[in-house]
């Protein structure tokens, strides 16, 4: 059963803890920034015919979306969706995971970086997304330098991950005063599968830095120029990005060579 409200605020024992309980009702979180209708729109489906154990019935059910994942993951996804439907929930096309990284001083190595990545929580329905989201600390309250990652299940927020190694990322730099709003819009677009070439998208990252915040969207194939540029246009459109903002692109293999996420970008647009 889904909770009807968030619990009372609790002490956060460490500044590194990104998830915190906030004293707001669950219904209010469903209306957060007036966008819950967007989430429910993509999840619902008109009345459809179902045939279960030889019985034909008409039900109002969330829309089932085809997967392009490997066979075993596709079967697992279908089973998950069937269970969600049975529980009266609204399944998302993809299952997602929030990760958190607190940057440490020194040169980045694969081992040290991977050790610092902490899995926070995963979700696969509209309802569980909002439960998770209303418990996350806002970007303005997070310490610098930290990263908050939102990735599809099975993909780690690492350049070396098999889903990421041939890809890259679009990068946008924001003033700290506005980054939270743009991050939220990006999260809703990603979770709601609203961006073009969605199957080419791996996830998104919010990087909290001392003088600015950086949003990045990771894709699978840096050499597919059509998909890369379509993703750029979709991000601009969904974020309503002002013309003064410059988007930069960098392949992950370039990041591996210069050991940098955001320096020496290859493409601007």
User: Residue 155 above 90 pLDDT?
Assistant: yes
Evaluate if residue 84 carries a pLDDT over 60.
yes
pLDDT surpasses 70 at 139: yes
Residues 6+ apart with CB under 8 A from 104: 112, 116
- Stretch 185-203: mean pLDDT, rounded? 95
Closest by CA to 202, choosing from 170, 243, 234, is 170
The model's pTM is 0.70
Please state the φ and ψ torsions of residue 115, each to the nearest 5 degrees: -65, -30
Q: Which residues contact 160 (CB under 8 A, 6 or more apart)?
A: 110, 256
Q: SS3 for 199-266, per residue?
A: HHEEEEEEEECCCCEEEEEEECCCCCHHHHHHHHHHHHHHHCCCCCCCEEEEEHHHHHHHCCCCCCCC
How do residues 214-244 score in pLDDT, each as one tens digit?
A: 999 999 999 999 999 999 999 999 999 999 9
Q: Alpha carbon 137 to chain centroid distance?
A: 15
Question: pLDDT category, 268, cuts 50, 70, 90?
Answer: confident
* Domain locations along the chain: 94-268
Other CB atoms within a 10 A radius of the CB of residue 246 amount to 12
What does the pLDDT read at residue 67? 33
* Mean of per-residue pLDDT scores for the chain: 76
- Binned at pLDDT 50, 70 and 90, residue 39 comes out as very low
Per DSSP, what are the bridge partners of residue 57? Answer: 50
> Could you tell me what percent of the chain has a pLDDT over 90?
52
How many Å apart are CA 167 and CA 162, to the nearest integer?
Answer: 10
DSSP summary character for residue 162? T
- The Cα–Cα gap between 187 and 182 comes to 9
Mean pLDDT of 79-89: 68
Report the distance separating Cα 83 and Cα 67, nearest Å. 17
CA distance 171 to 147: 14
Query: For residues 200 and 35, what is the distance between their CA atoms, to the nearest angstrom?
Result: 25
Q: Which residues fall within 8 angstroms of residue 226, CB to CB, at 6 or more apart?
A: none
Which of 48-52, 96-100, 147-151, 206-210 shows the lowest per-residue confidence on average (mean pLDDT)?
48-52
* Residue of 152, 237, 252, 242 whose CA lies nearest to 202: 152
What's the topology of domain 94-268? RNA Cap, Translation Initiation Factor Eif4e (3.30.760)
- pLDDT tens for 45-83 read 333 333 344 444 333 333 333 333 445 556 666 676 676
Q: Cα 215 from chain centroid?
A: 11
């Amino acid at each position: 059963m889904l909770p009807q409200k968030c619990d009372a605020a609790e002490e956060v024992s460490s500044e590194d803890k990104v998830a915190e309980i906030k004293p707001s009702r669950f219904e209010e979180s469903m209306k957060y920034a007036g966008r819950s209708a967007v989430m429910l729109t993509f999840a619902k489906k008109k009345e459809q015919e179902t045939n279960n154990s030889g019985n034909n019935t008409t039900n109002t059910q969330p829309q089932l979306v085809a997967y392009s994942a490997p066979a075993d993951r596709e079967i697992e996804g279908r089973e998950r969706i069937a269970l969600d439907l049975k529980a009266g929930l609204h399944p998302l096309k993809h299952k997602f995971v929030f990760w958190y990284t607190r940057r440490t001083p020194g040169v980045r190595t694969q081992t040290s970086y991977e050790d610092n990545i902490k899995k926070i929580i995963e979700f696969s329905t509209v309802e569980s997304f909002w439960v998770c989201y209303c418990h996350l600390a806002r970007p303005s309250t997070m310490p610098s330098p930290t990263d908050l990652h939102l990735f599809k299940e099975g993909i780690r927020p690492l350049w070396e991950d098999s889903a990421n190694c041939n890809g890259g990322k679009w990068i946008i730099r924001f003033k700290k005063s506005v980054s939270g709003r743009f991050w939220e819009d990006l999260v809703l677009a990603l979770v709601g599968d609203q961006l073009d070439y969605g199957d080419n998208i791996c996830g998104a990252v919010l990087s909290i830095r001392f003088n600015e915040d950086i949003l990045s969207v990771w894709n699978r194939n840096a050499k597919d120029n059509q998909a890369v540029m379509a993703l750029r246009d979709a991000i601009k459109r969904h974020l309503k990005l002002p013309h003064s903002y410059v988007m930069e692109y960098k392949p992950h293999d370039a990041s591996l060579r210069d050991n940098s996420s955001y320096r020496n970008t290859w493409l601007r647009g």
